Amino acid sequence: MVDSRRRTATAAIHTRQAATSARPLSSPIFQSTAFAAASADDLARVAGEVATPDFYTRHGNPNHVELAEAVATLERAEAGLVLGSGMGALTTTLLALVSSGQHIVAQRSMYGGSLSVVQKLLPRFGVTYTLVDQAEAGAWAEAITPATRVFLIESPSNPRLEISDLGAIAEVARARDIVTVADNTFATPINQRPVEAGIDLVWHSATKYLAGHSDASAGVVVGRAELIETIWNTSLNVGAVLGPIDAWLVTRGIRTLDLRVGRHNATALAIAEHLRAHPTVEAVYYPGLPGHASHAVAARQMSGFGGVLSIELPGDREETARSIERLELFQLSASLGSVESLVVHPASMWGAVLTDQQMSAAGVAPGLVRLACGLEDAADLIADLDRALHAHRPRGGGQ
C-alpha cells in the first residue's frame, strides 16, 4: 500500500511498480533511461560493468542485453553490443580500434556509407587507408603496412554482390595481429557466420534483415569479448544509443529471421535466373548464380545467397532512373531486408556521399540497379520487372 500521507505531487511520481509472477512470452519493454540501485556501492559497481542492464540506458538496458545476446548466439560470437544504427555500430567500432597514425585496409566495393567513414571521416583524425580488390586475398597482404590495425570487409558487398574469402583474409590478418571487421548485413547469420571463418568482429545494420519490418533503426556488433568491451567504452562517448523499443522490435524480428531469409533467398535466386536471360539486362550480379565470378567461394562459405541482387542496364543514369520508376511492387527506397521488395539506383543515391570517381572505383555504373527482394510471390515480382523493363532499350541496341 502506498503511503496515503504523501501529497499529490509526490504520490504521482512514487507509485508502486507493477509486480507479477507471470511469465510473458514476449519480453517487456524497459522504457527507462535510468535504473535505481539498492546502495551506493551497488551503483558504483554497475557503473563500470560492460553493457550493464541496470544503471543507465546509454551504458545498457535489459532490452539491449537481450538483443545483443541473441545476435551473438546466432553469429557464434562471445559477446555483443547494440547501437542506434548500423552506421553507429561501424563508426563506433572503428573509432575504438584505430588512432592517429594508424592504417586501415578496406575493400573498394562496399556500402557507400562505410566508404565515406573510411575515406572522409577517419582521415580527419590522422587515420590512413588503402582500398583493395576484395576477391584477391593476396591484395590484402600486399596492402599491409607497419601501421595497419584493421581489415574492413563486406561480403556479399553492396551493391555488386562481390564475395570476400573470409577464411583466407582472416588468416592473413591473424598472422599480423590485425583485427578483422566484417559487415554481415546482406548475408545474415542464417546464410553466413564470419566468426566461424576466423573473423574477429561482425557488425550488422540490424535495421535490415534482423528487424525485417521497416519499423526499427538499430546496429549491432559481435565478436571477442575483450574487443566488445573496448568498443563499449568508446560507445559511452559516441552516444549512439539504441532506444529500448527499437531493441525490442529487432528482437521480435529475429524470432522469424530463419523463415524470412529462406524466402528471401529463394525469391532472389528465381529473379536472378530470370533476368540473366532478359533482353534488356546486360549483367546480373548474384553469388547464387554459377556464372558469378566468386560463386565457388560463396558456395563454400554460405548456406544461402541472400535476398539482394543487382543488375546492370544499358543506357545512362536518367534512362535507368525512368525505368525503375515504372516498377509497382518494387518500391523506390534506400533500405533492404524487409517484407516488401525495394529498388534503388546507386548512382543516384550515393552521389550525395561519393564522387563520380569513387563510385566508378566501387563498381557503381550509371545503369546499375539494386533489387532487394521481399516476401511477395516471386512470379508477381518477375512480372513487375518485365513490365517496367519493357520500354528500356535492349542490350546492344545503341541510342
317-357: pLDDT as tens digits: 899 999 999 999 999 998 999 999 999 998 887 766 667 78
The pLDDT of residue 4: 67
Residue 10 pLDDT grade (very low, low, confident, very high; cuts 50, 70, 90): confident
Which residues form the catalytic set?
A: 58, 111, 183, 208
Q: How much is the pLDDT for 352? A: 67
Q: How far is CA 63 from CA 12, 74, 153, 301, 361, in A?
A: 26, 17, 28, 31, 40
Q: How confident is the model at residue 44 (pLDDT cuts 50, 70, 90)?
A: confident
Judge whether residue 1 has pLDDT over 90.
no
Distance CA(237)–CA(108), nearest Å, equals 30
What domains, with CATH codes, occur in the chain?
40-254 (3.40.640.10), 257-389 (3.90.1150.10)
**pLDDT tens string 270-292:** 999 999 999 999 999 999 999 99
First vs last C-alpha separation in the chain? 82
Q: Which residue type sits at 291?
A: G
Q: What is the band of 2 on the pLDDT scale with cuts at 50, 70, 90?
A: low
**CA–CA dist 238, 234 (Å, integer):** 6
The confidence score (pLDDT) of residue 244 equals: 97
pTM: 0.93
Residues 30-53, mean pLDDT to the nearest whole number: 88
Q: Which helix (H) or strand (E) holds 351?
A: none
pLDDT exceeds 90 at position 238: yes
Tell which wins on pLDDT, 316 or 240. Answer: 240
Whether 4 contacts 217, CB under 8 Å: no
**Rounded CA separation 77/273 (Å):** 34
CA distance 325 to 299: 34
Per-residue pLDDT tens digits for 242-271: 999 999 999 999 999 999 999 999 999 999
The neighbouring-strand residues paired with 343 are: 332, 371
pLDDT band at 131 (very low <50, low <70, confident <90, very high): very high
- Give residue 397's pLDDT band: very low, low, confident or very high (50, 70, 90): low
AA identity, residue 145: T
- Is the CB of residue 214 less than 8 Å from the CB of residue 85? no
Report in angstroms the alpha-carbon separations of 379 from 55, 280, 308, 329, 335: 51, 19, 16, 11, 22
**Sole residue written with cell 534503388:** 344
